[in-house]
A and B are shown apart, each in its own frame.
Chain A
């Protein structure tokens, strides 16, 4: 496989997210973090790729709406690492002043709006924000949140109004531990199409995601991106140790260069965490 600059840049962002989440995992295990935490580990290639395309390639600063599993969204789009650590540890100066915890983080600097904890509300709210501001908007949701009646109703309206929104379903096939096939017999990309917007089903391979760049923010589009959640729904645990790990896969593909970069990023993240943990 030919490795280009885009692959390297995406890997760097994903590595930041992965190494950050490993530290969060440890901090939960060591009881330094005492609030419910939703780890993005395993799914980080989605936000890393999107941020690399949108920020670095298209040079767009979108409005960002995410839901509870949002550390990687925040970090990929440039959210302040230290402020997130403080938020998780409950130290003064957290990105959401200890009000948001893990699930409701936000950042004015990167235009990321907080989530109230009711899954899927970010969809109509993000649509309203885009409708009023006309700014390019990216809205993340889980495969379960996508089933919310208010998400579906809102998607229809966004399509009717032809808003410049990129809807991303981070489809890990799970609602906590309930698989998609138990909950429904339909797919989100089909729903999007029947609402007369572009809808595609793909996996979290960065090259796959990149293919759709040409449609970003031109009109409403929904990408249902299949991915894997490495850790428990909430907290620090592993459901299935054999699950496919996109990050590891990409790291191996890139090879030595990725290993070196990853080590460097890990060291940096470890140091940042260490400093904050000392404050406890």
Chain B
């Protein structure tokens, strides 16, 4: 039977603890819910390690564990907590190999979620890691993508920031890029926006537009196939890049890279430049299908 992303993560973690004798660190892991059902019901004796609520110290403890060649998994229940969790991951774990030739690989599970959760916890915060050297950033949204990323990590000796999203946990499907040439516009999507991008593409195609679609799994290093670049290059209006983080995070930066490679205009959409409120009408959500369609149409109608 096909597995969801949730079940896939849970199996990977179970295997990491029982077969690989690795460790998983985080806060409130063994409580009801088991982090959205992504953890097996295992405890400290099995390697499921409850950190205290000292968030900054917790990141350091995990970095120290990684120095001992254990390849720890670090669960960050809401990506926004990274402001307190990432300091020693990016300043120590990510630099250790370069400075001391001592690899310090951590698999950071940053879990995104939004909608009614207020000003700090919600959305994706992968841009926090993006500016730092020594970190690889990925955002798997499908079971196969997740498996691939984990096995790459186990072969590698770098820090991985895995930008997850709760909105993908029920997903069983794999996604296909649509990178034929001569599109009107190409949509490039990251994280949870990939789901809305698929729907937006359908709406726009119904209206007669030819739309390409590129799913970004590897944010850093940015991986787009040469066919993907060609699809952007041969498109009429360039591309629209979507993200679940602020546009002044990574999306404008990636857009610039793609622009230099393709000489095409790359527009971006992500969180609006405002703080998310708790209630629906003051929230700050990733671009919806409607918003993507509207922006795409505006781009398509430009002379």
**Chain A positions near chain B (C-beta within 8 angstroms):** 96-97, 99-100, 104, 106, 108, 113-114, 116, 118, 121, 123-133, 149-154, 156-157, 160
Contacts and interface: CB of A to CB of B under 8 A. Distances in A.
Given A116-B92, A132-B65, A99 B60 contact: no
A133 B68 contact: yes
A114 B64 CA distance: 11
Interface of B: 23, 49, 51-52, 54, 56-68, 70, 72, 87-88, 91-92, 95-96, 98-102
Among A123, A125, A127, the most chain B Cβ lie within 10 Å of the Cβ of A125
Given A121-B87, A125-B88, A150-B57, 19 more contacts: A96-B99, A99-B100, A104-B100, A114-B96, A116-B91, A116-B95, A118-B87, A121-B91, A124-B64, A124-B88, A127-B64, A128-B62, A129-B68, A132-B23, A132-B65, A133-B68, A150-B88, A157-B51, A160-B52
Nearest to B59: A124
Contacts of A150: 54, 56-57, 60, 87-88
A143 to B, nearest CB: 19
Contacts of A106: 100, 102
B91 A131 contact: no
Nearest to B51: A157
A185 to B, nearest CB: 22
Given A157-B51, A160-B52, A128 B64 contact: yes
B100 A125 contact: no
Contacts of B68: 128-129, 132-133
11 contacts: A99-B98, A99-B99, A116-B99, A124-B88, A125-B64, A128-B66, A131-B65, A133-B68, A153-B52, A154-B61, A157-B57
A156 B52 contact: yes
A-side interface mostly? helix
B54 A121 contact: no
B60 to A, nearest CB: 3
A104 B232 CA distance: 45
A152 B58 CA distance: 12
A133 to B, nearest CB: 4
Contacts of B87: 118, 121, 150
Contacts of A156: 52, 54
A100 B100 CA distance: 8
Nearest to A112: B100
A129 B186 CA distance: 47
B95 A153 contact: no
B52 A157 contact: yes
A128 B60 contact: yes
Nearest to A125: B64
B134 to A, nearest CB: 12
Contacts of B100: 96, 99-100, 104, 106, 113-114
B57 A124 contact: yes
Nearest to A155: B57
Most central of B54, B57, B101 by chain A CB within 10 Å = B57
Contacts of A157: 51-52, 54, 57, 61
A231 B301 CA distance: 70
Given A99-B98, A104-B99, A125-B92, A132 B64 contact: yes
A150 B87 CA distance: 11
Nearest to B25: A128
B102 A113 contact: yes
A127 B64 CA distance: 7
Nearest to B47: A132
A130 B65 CA distance: 8
A201 B21 CA distance: 40
Contact of B63 (A108, A125, A160): A125
A132 B88 contact: no
B91 to A, nearest CB: 5
Contacts of A99: 98-100
Contact of A121 (B52, B67, B92, B98): B92
Contacts of B61: 124-125, 127-128, 131, 154, 157
Contacts of A100: 99-100
Contact of A97 (B62, B64, B92, B101): B101
A244 B98 CA distance: 40
Nearest to B96: A114
Given A100-B99, A124-B88, A132-B23, A154 B60 contact: yes
A97 B290 CA distance: 54
B57 A153 contact: yes
A104 to B, nearest CB: 6
Contacts of B70: 132
Contacts of A149: 54, 56-57
A153 B102 CA distance: 26
B100 to A, nearest CB: 4
